[in-house]
């Protein structure tokens, strides 16, 4: 929980004070309202014990209260990602392990810095510990109450709400694949919209998909006993005459690779292959909480890509919802198949004015961009650039990859209209996967976000994320939709 208060009273068990080198050099501690604490900080600085270097910490005990000084370096040279990282490190400090309520004094009070502090706390202290043995003596950083020494503003409250949707997204991705299956996701979405008068929901199961011809989606799910689903929520925030933005998320609840089986080292985190769907659901939560005045289609295409005697096979040909036939050359290129049918179905039946799809689509995107950027491909440069500009402010960073006329030849099949892989040896895998999807959007302005690298941290942590899901896309989508009001 985060609260806002113009000046802290130093009545909590702990206070974090962020200081930069310029403030220290000028002995400018005016944001610290306690004269005793200001004088103590001056004494420590003059004794050369604290310089305000980036991530430097110094603990004090004053009147039986912990005061943790945290350096941010020369803050005008430190970007907001670094601020979030510094805040995370401070909030996770062992000095605070027994503190339940913490005051936070920022190094300055501009809006961007305060939002970075909020995100550093709420995103940075998140941990997935559902299956860890509880230890009641330790207070989890994510469960603490923080009071930031600023007056409340709508944009700060909105940042807190956005992080709550992001937390839902991370929880969905991090849990067991046999827990977060298509039924679970349906219940989650239904729970979010229950009682809301401006939403409707359509759910296609196996029977409906078969009757309507979503055969690409069905093919991916052939080897699984679990029900495939296309879950579509229509949110009317701006009146029926206003246009709609459609968000479509890939929801492969587990990806074995199918008969093109993934090797050891590549399958262990494949519960995260529904990160696109989870991001759409987290964004739905935010839109409902913010009561945005815009119209949106939220769609999650859910399947499980399993091996077995019923699994679809390399060499098979299936006809998609839009009538195009697809040759399957690799069963591990399955996400584009469920997305293709979802895009085509929504284009025809809901007629949105623009599409954004999110998917952990290709390892090739990770090779191209690493883990800090999502790959972006679009058929509309102005649309793409508007999202990239927002991504730079939300820290959901995206980088535009090329799309060009000749690339359409790379996804043509010798025996069908299309094939589900492009060039040999994975060359240009991220852009040819996007080109495959372009065939299903009916020339509607469209942005594809490949979040394969940015959506999950497999290790001790990256920047201000710990191990596991990052919630990539939620802040970007939420901010974009707010701009459409």
Tokens of 91: 């909030």
Decide: helix, strand or coil at residue 201: strand
Alpha-carbon span 411 to 418, nearest angstrom? 6
Annotated catalytic residue: which of 38, 262, 319, 397?
262
Decide if 150 contacts 106 (C-beta within 8 A).
Answer: yes
Residues 6+ apart with CB under 8 A from 411: 418, 419, 422, 432, 435, 436, 439
Alpha-carbon span 181 to 178, nearest angstrom? 6
Alpha-carbon span 102 to 11, nearest angstrom? 9
3-class DSSP string for 414-462: CCCCEECCCCHHHCCHHHHHHHHHHCCCCCCCEEEEECCCCCEECCCCE
Alpha-carbon span 391 to 373, nearest angstrom? 10
Alpha-carbon span 46 to 288, nearest angstrom? 51
Alpha-carbon span 137 to 298, nearest angstrom? 42
Tokens of 116: 């970075």
462 catalytically annotated: no
Annotated catalytic residue: which of 88, 170, 226, 336?
336
336 catalytically annotated: yes
Catalytic residues: 262, 336
């Amino acid at each position: 929980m985060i609260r806002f208060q113009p000046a802290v009273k130093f009545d909590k068990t702990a206070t974090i004070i962020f200081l930069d080198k310029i403030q220290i050099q000028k002995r400018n501690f005016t944001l610290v309202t306690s004269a005793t604490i200001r004088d103590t900080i001056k004494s420590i600085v003059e004794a050369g014990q604290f310089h305000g270097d980036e991530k430097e910490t110094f603990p004090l005990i004053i009147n039986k209260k912990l005061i943790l000084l945290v350096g941010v370096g020369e803050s005008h040279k430190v970007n907001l990602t670094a601020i979030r990282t510094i805040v995370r490190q401070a909030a996770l400090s062992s000095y605070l392990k027994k503190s339940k309520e913490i005051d936070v004094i920022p190094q300055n009070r501009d809006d961007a810095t305060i939002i970075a502090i909020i995100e550093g706390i709420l995103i940075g202290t998140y941990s997935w510990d559902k299956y860890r043995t509880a230890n009641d003596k330790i207070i989890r950083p994510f469960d603490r109450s923080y009071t930031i020494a600023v007056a409340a503003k709508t944009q700060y409250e909105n940042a807190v709400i956005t992080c709550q949707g992001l937390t839902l997204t991370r929880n969905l991705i991090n849990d067991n694949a046999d827990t977060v299956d298509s039924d679970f996701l349906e219940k989650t979405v239904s729970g979010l919209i229950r009682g809301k008068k401006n939403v409707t929901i359509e759910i296609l199961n196996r029977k409906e998909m078969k009757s309507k011809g979503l055969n690409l989606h069905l093919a991916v799910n052939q080897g699984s006993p679990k029900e495939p689903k296309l879950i579509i929520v229509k949110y009317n925030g701006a009146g029926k005459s206003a246009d709609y933005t459609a968000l479509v998320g890939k929801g492969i609840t587990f990806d074995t690779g199918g008969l093109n089986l993934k090797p050891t080292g590549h399958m262990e985190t494949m519960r995260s292959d529904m990160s696109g769907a989870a991001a759409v659901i987290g964004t739905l939560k935010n839109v409902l909480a913010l009561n945005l005045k815009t119209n949106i289609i939220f769609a999650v295409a859910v399947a499980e890509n399993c091996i077995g005697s019923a699994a679809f096979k390399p060499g098979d040909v299936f006809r998609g919802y839009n009538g195009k036939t697809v040759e399957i050359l690799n069963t591990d290129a399955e996400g584009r198949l469920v997305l293709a049918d979802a895009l085509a179905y929504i284009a025809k039946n809901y007629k949105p004015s623009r599409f954004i799809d999110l998917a952990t689509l290709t390892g090739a995107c990770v090779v191209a961009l690493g883990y800090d950027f999502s790959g972006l491909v679009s058929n509309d440069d102005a649309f793409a650039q508007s999202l990239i500009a927002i991504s730079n402010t939300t820290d959901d960073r995206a980088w535009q990859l090329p799309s060009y006329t000749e690339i359409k030849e790379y996804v043509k099949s010798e025996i069908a209209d299309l094939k589900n892989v492009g060039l040999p040896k994975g060359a240009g895998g991220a852009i040819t996967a996007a080109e495959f999807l372009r065939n299903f959007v009916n020339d509607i302005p469209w942005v594809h976000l490949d979040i394969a690298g940015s959506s999950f941290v497999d290790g001790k942590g990256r920047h201000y994320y710990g191990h596991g899901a990052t919630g990539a896309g939620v802040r970007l989508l939420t901010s974009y939709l707010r701009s459409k009001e």
